[in-house]
Amino acid sequence: MIRLHHVPFSRSFRILWLLTEMGLDFEVVEHSITDGSLRRPDFLAKSPAGRVPALEIDRRILFESGAITEYLCETRARHGFGRAPGHAERADWLEWLHYAETMAQPIANLNLQWVFLRDASMRSPTLLKMEARRLALTLAPLEARLARHDHVLPSGFSGADTMLGYNLLAVPYFVRLEPFPAIRAYVERIARRPAHIAARARDGAQGFYRQEFYEVADG
């Protein structure tokens, strides 16, 4: 049995989506960021930082979405979502797979400020503007790449797409995508994938964002 510990619309969606693309049978154990379940000793034994995803598979437990993606792509190589050592795209695959966390860092900081601070007066307009700008800057290299290729790698869809594609669900809450036509077209392409549709249905409605766009007022 494969068991995914998951919070809807969180980074664990990367793994839910990849498992679905692979057509694997798996159980989802849903958690909430606010109910304390991620801080319980039994969960911390699975994921020491108290974060999702955590994946029970092959008689062991893995945490960190990048590591899980590499593991799944390499141990289930027949699905073709990895690029093995020696493959011409191996270095690019690794780079873009882990670039997803470069992009996710400002998203996490914006989430903390906009969504998780209990007292809105604690928000820093300076920090919010800076992190939104940082996030926009991370989109520029991806825009340039997707202007040349339908997916992150020239040869087609891979685990790098499940890593980066998840981020692009959250980005539009903080950065307007009008200046990034290639990214907009990419988001539409991946959203039409049957496995993405199935994974989003299994993921459920997001419970983080209560606004369509979070913008810092001048002044």
pLDDT at 42: 96
Domain shared by 184 and 120, yes or no: yes
Q: Distance (Å, rounded) from C-alpha 83 to C-alpha 216?
A: 41
> What digits encode the pLDDT tens for the residues 191-210?
999 999 999 999 988 888 99
Domain shared by 18 and 54, yes or no: yes
Q: Per residue in 65-80, is it b (16+ CB within 10 Å) or e — as a string?
A: bbebbbbbbeebeeee
Domain shared by 96 and 193, yes or no: yes
> What digits encode the pLDDT tens for the residues 36-83?
899 999 999 999 999 999 999 999 999 999 999 999 999 999 999 999
* pLDDT band per the 50, 70, 90 thresholds, residue 145: very high
Residue 181 located in a structural domain: yes
pLDDT at 33: 87
- Residue range(s) defining the domain that contains residue 199: 90-203
Q: Is the pLDDT of residue 219 over 60?
A: no
- pTM value? 0.96
Q: Distance (Å, rounded) from C-alpha 6 to C-alpha 25?
A: 15
Residue 9's CATH number: 3.40.30.10
Domain shared by 74 and 131, yes or no: no
Find out whether 167 and 103 touch, Cβ atoms under 8 Å. yes
Count the domains in the chain: 2
Domain shared by 162 and 116, yes or no: yes
Domain shared by 32 and 94, yes or no: no
Domain shared by 195 and 146, yes or no: yes
Q: What is the dihedral of CA 112, 118, 121, 126, to 10 degrees?
A: 0
Domain shared by 102 and 37, yes or no: no
Residue 218 located in a structural domain: no
